[in-house]
Amino acid sequence: MTSFFRILKFALQDIWRNIGLSFMTIMILVLMLLSVNVLWSVDILTKEAVNLVKEQINVSLYLSGAITDKELTELKNYISSFPEVVNLDVRSRDDVLNNFEERHKMSQEVLDALNELGANPFGPTMIIKTKEPGDYKKIIDSLSVPEYDYLIEAKSFDQHEEAIDRIQNITSRVEQMGMGLSILFAIIAFLIIFNTIRVSIFTHHTEIGIKRLVGASNWFIRGPYLVESFLFTVASIGVTMVLVFLALGWIDPYLNIAFPTGFSLTNYYNSNILMIFGIQALAVLLLNILSSWLAMRRQLKV
How is the chain split into domains, by residue range?
Answer: 2-53+163-300, 58-159
pLDDT digits (tens, 9 = 90+) for 23-74: 877 887 888 788 888 878 887 887 787 777 777 777 888 888 788 888 888 8
pLDDT digits (tens, 9 = 90+) for 187-200: 776 776 666 666 66
Give the whole-number percent of the chain exceeding pLDDT 70. 73
Inter-helix orientation angle 93-103/108-117, to 10°: 150
Give the whole-number percent of the chain exceeding pLDDT 90. 2
pLDDT (0 to 100) of residue 188: 73
Architecture of domain 58-159: 2-Layer Sandwich (3.30)
Q: Supply the pTM of this predicted model.
A: 0.66
Q: In what order do the strands lie in the sheet with 85-91?
A: 85-91, 125-130, 59-63, 152-157
Highest mean pLDDT among 70-74, 77-81, 241-245: 241-245
Nearest CA-CA partner of 22 in 262, 195, 148: 195
Nearest CA-CA partner of 79 in 123, 128, 152: 128
